[in-house]
A = this chain, B = another copy of it.
């Protein structure tokens, strides 16, 4: 597909799972999806984490699908009673849940005569949906409209994303480049603001850290142009030096 540099393509992620909200499990899908989307030229603009409840899932997916080009969900598509993502999204879209013939075929091929009712749950989709290949454990992901329903287990999610690689329309990928300095970020604040203002199209974030009793910060420049990033990084390093702050090209 031709990319259109003027248009910014956006996405949101809905993470479904009490295990994340209880602090028991650390989410690992957000960062992976964010980086994968960058390569596709799509920007992750919002993430929500909601409970395993019909309304929470339904309201979340409806709001995000209306606001962004793409919505990805993770979690709640396994064989157990707490896996209600498909039901919640179908209800929110006002369509029935049906067994997808191809999904049933895939599961039957995998489980043979052990295809229990519980396992057959994983062939259920909102009516009108397509499947997303799952090279890892067979039970497919689901696409309906701009909603991509994926597993919660990171290796499975990553496999599903791999099977979507290059298939979604997007724009120019956002690139980043860092300048690091052993400084309090407050000492660099005015410089960062001036350099960002002087360079439309470049965004500068400041990320302070404390290591071994020393204070430092990484300044992360983002733009869709590699040449612009290189030029602005050089400009920022010169401006920091003028302000009495030594910096390095790259992250500390």
A binding-site residues for B, Cβ under 8 Å = 15, 18-27, 30-35, 38, 43-52, 56, 78-82, 116-119, 121-122, 153, 155, 174, 176, 185-190, 192-193, 196, 203-210, 220, 222
Contacts and interface: CB of A to CB of B under 8 A. Distances in A.
A179 to B, nearest CB: 13
Given A23-B38, A79-B186, A80-B188, 12 more contacts: A19-B220, A20-B30, A22-B35, A22-B222, A23-B30, A23-B44, A27-B27, A48-B49, A78-B185, A80-B185, A80-B189, A80-B193
A79 B189 CA distance: 7
A25 B48 CA distance: 17
Given A46-B51, A82-B204, A22 B176 contact: yes
What are the 5 closest A-B residue pairs judged by CB atoms, nearest first?
A23-B34, A118-B189, A79-B186, A47-B49, A23-B31
A23 B35 contact: yes
Contacts of A210: 153, 155
17 contacts: A19-B205, A20-B30, A22-B34, A22-B44, A22-B174, A22-B222, A46-B51, A47-B49, A78-B186, A80-B188, A80-B193, A80-B206, A82-B204, A116-B187, A118-B190, A121-B189, A153-B209
Given A189-B118, A193-B81, A26 B21 contact: no
A56 B46 contact: yes
Majority secondary structure of chain A interface residues (helix, strand, loop or mixed): mixed
Given A185-B79, A186-B116, A47 B32 contact: no
A48 B51 contact: no
A68 to B, nearest CB: 12
A119 B186 contact: yes
Contacts of A80: 185-186, 188-189, 192-193, 206
A81 B198 CA distance: 14
A184 to B, nearest CB: 8
A12 to B, nearest CB: 10
A18 B205 contact: yes
A225 B192 CA distance: 53
Nearest to A18: B205
